[in-house]
Amino acid sequence: MIARPPFPDIHSLWQETAVERPAFESLAGDHQFDVAIIGGGYTGLSTARYLARRGLSSIVIEASRIGWGGSGRNGGVVSGKFRPSFSDIAARYGLETARRMHDLGVEAIEHVGELAEDYGITAANYRPTGSLRCAHNAVSLEGLKKEVEWLRGALGDHACSILSPEEMAAETGSRDFVGGMLNTHGGVIHPLNFAFGLAAGLKKAGIAIVEASPVTGLKRHGDRILVRTGSGSVSARQAVIATDSYSDITPATAGVRKSIIPFRSAMIATEPLTGKPGARLLSQGRSYTETRRMMRWFRKAGDRLLYGGRGAFGKADSESAFAALHKAMLRQFPELENTAVTHRWSGLVAMTMDSIPHLGRLDDRIVYAVGYNGTGVALASNIGRYVAAEIAGEKPDLGLLTSERLKPVPFYPIREPAVRLVAGWYQFLDAIGR
């Protein structure tokens, strides 16, 4: 049974510090557009932008409210990386494929800045400060060194460099790392304000957006596709599924639901650190990630420290997951022991079988773009230009993003215990230093 929208907001730091939310009505009555876009996150909004540039009319149909899903819950890390390293991609698929994937990642990062400038989204506070991979042991550091050498030699990318343990301690404030890899590509952003700014910009441009309108039906109707909600319908030439890890809200997006493993990612945020022992931590304002298999990440947001990680399961927030994050944060930053945690929230990450996002077709009327595997701020915000190209009948070079059809997850009904088992094994390997 479909829950009644809009769904309750989560108590995140982003919700508390957001600008005024742009207002949209729910879908009412029957309408016609060239394209109906299901999902009002970065992917759907980006797609509407680029369809308009091609002279195609579209409507963005959001089940809850703009920014309710992954686009408003994520950590605000702007990255163009993929879960497989570029050297691994080259070894398996060839150097030119790796080069194209690398170029797509850099393009996506630069596009975030373009969007923020085009729509005047100053409240997103986008800062291209780069990112830092923090090596937790010598084996991981050696892997980072090899990656830097490969990027320079094979792709001519000199944006990455290795930092010493002393440099890591000076920047992060923690002596928990034996070195790290600085990447000047990327940065940090207020993700919810970014989503609000995109939606407000599209609204100003006359692009239709509706909220609180879960799609209850999606079916062929002659040479068109009919999209139904509880209070209206849209007849369109084509439809786009842009629901990512929230593709199980209604049966209408079943075509992609069983190809995605929703993996819950949890975050905590401290009280303001100005004048407190932790004020000097993470001094360069980048995003930071560990090299452990069960990755933790951290960054500053204003004068607060955010600490997040994967490993939370189930449909709701987990007290044990939040407790584990707090314990890990204090291990790395013991000066925060007496610092209050003011916000705790979580959201779903859409994992795919090959750890790569995918853009493709379910049939000649339905396009999908899903599966960002935890790096969707830049990639999802950029994918709309390629969704629009696909709808227009073009076949852009997207490397592995369109190399094959999105694969269904084997034994889908038992995906959650299977992921728990794998995560437990990764935690064991991290614990013994492998």
Average pLDDT over the chain reads: 91
H helix and E strand count, the chain? 12, 18
Q: What is the pLDDT of residues 4-55, one digit of tens each?
A: 677 888 889 999 999 999 999 999 999 999 999 999 999 999 999 999 999 9
Confidence of residue 432 (pLDDT cuts 50, 70, 90): very low
Of 221-225, 289-293, 426-430, which has the strongest mean pLDDT? 221-225
Is position 361 within any domain? yes
- Using DSSP's 3-state secondary structure scheme, residue 402 falls into helix
Is position 68 within any domain? yes
Checking DSSP bridges between strand 358-361 and strand 215-221, what pairing results, if any? unpaired
User: Residue 426: is its pLDDT beyond 70?
Assistant: no
Please check whether residue 282 is in contact with residue 298, taking contact to mean a CB–CB distance below 8 angstroms: yes
Q: What is the mean pLDDT of residues 316-344?
A: 91
Please report the pLDDT score of residue 107 as a whole number. Answer: 98
Gap between the Cα atoms of 44 and 367, Å rounded: 12
User: Residue 418: is its pLDDT beyond 80?
Assistant: no
Pull the structure tokens for residue 131. Answer: 């990112």
- Helix axes of 191-204 and 376-391: crossing angle, nearest 10 degrees: 30
Please report the pLDDT score of residue 420 as a whole number. Answer: 52
User: Residue 425: is its pLDDT beyond 50?
Assistant: no
User: Residue 189: is its pLDDT beyond 90?
Assistant: yes
Q: What is the CATH number of the domain that holds 359?
A: 3.50.50.60
Please report the pLDDT score of residue 428 as a whole number. Answer: 42
DSSP E strands: which ranges in 215-260? 215-221, 224-229, 232-241
Q: What are phi and psi of 310, to 5 degrees?
A: -100, 170
Checking DSSP bridges between strand 287-290 and strand 261-270, what pairing results, if any? unpaired
Q: What is the mean pLDDT of residues 373-383?
A: 96
DSSP 250-310: SGGGHHHHTT-EEEEEEEEEEPP-TTSGGGGSSTT--EEEE-SSS-EEEEEETTEEEEEEE
Please report the pLDDT score of residue 8 as a whole number. Answer: 83
Q: What is the pLDDT of residues 127-169, one digit of tens each?
A: 999 999 999 999 999 999 999 999 999 999 999 999 999 999 9
Please report the pLDDT score of residue 4 as a whole number. Answer: 64
DSSP E strands: which ranges in 39-178? 58-61, 77-78, 131-135, 160-163
Q: What are phi and psi of 245, to 5 degrees?
A: -75, -5
Q: What is the mean pLDDT of residues 163-186?
A: 97
User: Residue 433: is its pLDDT beyond 70?
Assistant: no
Confidence of residue 402 (pLDDT cuts 50, 70, 90): confident
Is position 363 within any domain? yes
Is position 226 within any domain? yes
Burial 312-330 (b: 16+ CB within 10 A, else e): bbeeebeeebbebbbebbe
From residue 125, how far is each of 99, 189, 200, 281, 378 by CA, in Å?
Answer: 30, 6, 16, 20, 15
Q: What are phi and psi of 224, to 5 degrees?
A: -130, 180
Is position 178 within any domain? no
Domain count, the chain: 1
Is position 242 within any domain? yes
Q: What is the mean pLDDT of residues 388-400?
A: 96
Find how far residue 44's CA is from the centre of its chain: 13
Gap between the Cα atoms of 78 and 67, Å rounded: 16
Of all residues in the chain, the percent with pLDDT exceeding 90 is 81
Pull the structure tokens for residue 140. Answer: 């991981």
Is position 266 within any domain? no
Helix, strand, coil percent values for the chain (each to nearest 5): 40, 25, 35
Domain span at residue 226 reads 13-74+192-260+354-414
Q: What is the pLDDT of residues 195-209, one digit of tens each?
A: 999 999 999 999 999
User: Residue 423: is its pLDDT beyond 70?
Assistant: no
Q: What is the mean pLDDT of residues 243-262?
A: 90
Q: What is the mean pLDDT of residues 275-291?
A: 95
User: Residue 431: is its pLDDT beyond 80?
Assistant: no
Gap between the Cα atoms of 225 and 35, Å rounded: 9
pTM: 0.93
Q: What is the pLDDT of residues 58-71, one digit of tens each?
A: 999 999 999 999 99
User: Residue 117: is its pLDDT beyond 90?
Assistant: yes
Is position 385 within any domain? yes
